[in-house]
Chains A and B, each alone.
Chain A
Amino acid sequence: MSDSDAAARPYPDIWSRESATPVVERYHSAVRALVAEKFAAGGKSWQEAVEDRSLEPTAQELEKIEADLLAEGYKFDVSATISLKEEPDKYKPLAGIANTGEHETDEEGRPIVGTGDNVFKAPADVTGVARYISDVEKVMEMLTGGVPEKTVAIIDDSGGTLTAPILGDFTAVVCMGGTVRSHLGILTREYNVPCLMNATLDGLADGDEVVVEYSKPAADAYADAEAAAEHRARIIKVS
């Protein structure tokens, strides 16, 4: 949707541009058009309209902007699981771990099911059981029943809150997002729990036994992509 139509603006902008993302472009253009329409219809000076707040959109007008987009069949990307839980029709379903069926193998012929950036250099690699933790229910289960031994937590959230009460009980962590400077990276370092951030996974299933190369040097947060790729730690499926 283009924002180049000057009539859809309440005041001129000789250096206008489209927003970089489609939803922001859609929403902000719609509000600008709404304000322009109300200003034109109000018969007041700009200063008068600002001071009596007649330019400000109402909650109902803003609700309609989202409703119009949803009516076209649009589904939003989700971040917090509560959003999907409360309004499942509004969001795309969460993507799971990819499984293309094509894997490189390590020196022993075992499938490499992922790589990631090491938060800190651990004394040794870690062998454990991959357990996927992506929602409140799974954390609650482990909070009340205990974290199973040898759990390598597979987390798709670089934040520090989802797993806050059980983080110190993990044997190790693999996070499918963020960077070594993310909150989860900071916390795992404090807890001395080995952790890979920004992991890409392919073919890893819940319950797989894996060995993870946590003894590799810590990733450099400022390294360029090519240099960082060379130093990524591997996740190897052993059974």
Chain B
Amino acid sequence: MPIKRSYVDVLEANAFIQKWADSFFFQCTTRTVQESKLFPVNPYIALSYYNAWYRYPEVLRKVDAAMPAEEIGERARQVGTYVNTISMGVGPQFYLGGRQWMLDMGILKPTDCVEDVLDVLDFARRLNLSYHRAEAHIMPSDGNHKDQIHTARQTGFFEDNAIGVTPGDKLHHAFTRFMAAVSAYGFLSHCECRLSFCNNGPYRTKDGNQMLVRDMLDLSECDFPWMDGVSSEIEFNNLTVPVIMKDTDFHMVDDWGSFEASPSYDNEKLVAIGLYTSDWLSDGYVPVHMDSASELADYLDDQREKMEAATAEMWKMMAGWSREQMIDAGLLVYYAILKDVAHFAGVYEQDDWFQVDERTQRFKPLMNDEYGNSAIAELVGLVSLTSQDRGPHRMERYSRDRTEMWTTIPYSVLADDEWTARVGPMGEGVTTLPAKTAKWTTTRGKLTQEECNAAAKAFHSKAFDLRHYDDDVWAKNNPDDPRAAELAAATGG
């Protein structure tokens, strides 16, 4: 019996598979190889793709049933969380990477687990569509590498409340030192991965400068069990810093939330900054110590010192880990890239997101450093695996080679019975890391997992309730409508 999905379902899924392949190829080949002498990075990346393949179908169906993906995307664009441009863009890539491993090793055919593939991609499609709706793009590369997720009410709020800085003043000094410390801290807490940071924008400001909105995420005790205790002095889990810069053109904000500027980003060009916190329990962005420049500078200095201390302590802990512990931590950082969708939906379970599936575990014996490096290089850089070859006439978008990164779904599934539906339920999970014991740091204080989920289910965002009017096109022609005033009042926590 053919699959009970429409022709358009498969057409759209395949278009998204190719779209994601194009995006990932550009991102992966315009960067350097990721490496670390501390962490076996590519072995853990390769394993994370297996975990995504085996676990995403079930965990994302659970999330979607509690809160549809398009609602999560709508909520997420109004706050700074892990549900952002990089995680929503890259999550499906990891899943498709797991599928490609299976195809290349001959364990599966392209006609296998088709319902899973369609459902995971549909979840990601709806999530990205609603998150990026302000610009009506699906990912930044669609807009020539810019990522304007916010409407004018939000960017106007950021601009109007930004605090001016001058090179050499107290706030400028504190801010630049803070940004260095939080960068090192974020790379370490994320095991060499850059998921702690995501930028959106740029946005024009009234005086002709440009504003970039910079999110720094999972800074305090959160989902990562290794941050329990060591990160307890960090007050907020997520921080958002809008930076306004003069004489700077952010000519690229890419699909991974990275930016490039002309001329290069230079703190000497800083004009004004802000500091906010938010999460899946906050109504927008809550200002943090922004009553004066001096107060904000003192706070940034305080948090910088605590982050530097936490960096040293966390590094000592990680330096004592076994290779398998490093592998588990890294692969779980990558695999759990979509975890915050479960927080928004109020169905977050630590074991769903921070366990290595027993079927993933089987592949660990292959993951020496050389295989990990070579396998990732072939999959996403060289695009040279046998399963990626599309024949002598094919030309890839950028390389012009005959290979494509991700394999599409054969249309035969619409006509015959040569296909399978699902990868099956999640297997038993294991981890070599200590269990999480601390509470989660939220804008409602420190909460247990059960308290987080209950609060998420009970939460109503004012801006979400007015979502159909949070639209620059509507706002342009309805300045006196009371709902515009209500939205403005709902901005800023």
List the interface of chain A (C-beta within 8 A of B): 3, 9-11, 13-24, 27-28, 31-32, 35-36, 46-47, 50-51, 53, 55-59, 62-63, 65-66, 76-83, 86, 90-91, 120, 134-136, 139-140, 143, 156-162, 164-165, 167-168, 177-179, 181-183, 186-187, 189-192, 218
Contact = CB atoms under 8 A, between A and B. Distances in A.
Nearest to B369: A79
B38 to A, nearest CB: 4
Interface stretch (B68-76, B122-130, B178-186, B229-237): B178-186
Interface residues of B, number: 77
Contact of B184 (A77, A164, A179, A182): A164
Interface string B336-378: 0000000000000000000000010111111011111111011
B108 interface: yes
Contact of B362 (A59, A135, A181): A59
10 contacts: A28-B105, A47-B419, A51-B420, A56-B362, A80-B39, A82-B326, A159-B41, A181-B31, A187-B180, A190-B179
Contacts of B40: 79-80, 82-83
A96 B362 CA distance: 35
A63 B315 CA distance: 31
B134 to A, nearest CB: 28
Interface stretch (B15-23, B187-195, B437-445): B187-195
B35 interface: yes
B35 A83 contact: no
B107 A35 contact: yes
Contacts of B37: 79-81, 134-135, 156-157, 159, 162
A10 B104 CA distance: 11
B319 interface: yes
B41 A79 contact: yes
A190 B182 CA distance: 10
A66 B105 CA distance: 15
A134 B33 CA distance: 18
A76 B370 contact: yes
B192 to A, nearest CB: 5
A135 B308 CA distance: 20
A156 B191 CA distance: 18
Contact of B386 (A16, A139, A143): A16
Contacts of A178: 32-33, 35
Given A62-B363, A80-B39, A140-B319, A179 B424 contact: no
B457 interface: no
Contacts of B361: 59
Given A15-B389, A168-B180, A161 B39 contact: yes
Contacts of B321: 82
A159 to B, nearest CB: 3
Contacts of A16: 386, 389
Nearest to B371: A23
Which 3 residue pairs are nearest across A and B when measured between Cβ atoms?
Answer: A159-B36, A21-B374, A32-B106
A222 B424 CA distance: 45
Nearest to B194: A183
B418 A179 contact: no
Given A157-B36, A161-B318, A165-B184, 15 more contacts: A21-B378, A35-B107, A46-B418, A47-B417, A55-B107, A59-B364, A59-B365, A66-B366, A77-B373, A162-B36, A164-B188, A165-B308, A168-B180, A168-B184, A183-B34
B109 interface: yes
B375 A24 contact: yes
Given A19-B378, A82-B322, A50 B420 contact: yes
B312 interface: yes
A18 B386 contact: yes
A198 B215 CA distance: 29
Nearest to B187: A160
B366 A3 contact: no
B390 A15 contact: yes
Nearest to A94: B37
Contacts of A218: 264
B382 interface: yes
Contacts of B372: 79
B38 A161 contact: yes
A27 B385 CA distance: 12
B126 to A, nearest CB: 28
B428 to A, nearest CB: 14
A131 to B, nearest CB: 15
A77 B370 contact: yes
B105 to A, nearest CB: 4
Contacts of A76: 368-371
Interface in B356-412: 359, 361-366, 368-375, 377-378, 382, 384-387, 389-392, 402
A24 B419 CA distance: 27
A139 B312 CA distance: 11
Contacts of A28: 104-105, 385-386
A183 B368 contact: no
B117 to A, nearest CB: 14
A79 B312 CA distance: 23
Contacts of A139: 315, 319
Given A24-B378, A161-B188, A57 B107 contact: yes
Nearest to B263: A218
A62 B365 contact: yes
Contacts of A120: 264
Given A15-B390, A190-B180, A27 B366 contact: yes
Nearest to A183: B187
Contacts of B32: 158, 178-179, 181-182
A32 B103 CA distance: 9
B453 interface: no
A59 B319 CA distance: 28
Contact of B107 (A3, A27, A31): A31
A44 B315 CA distance: 51
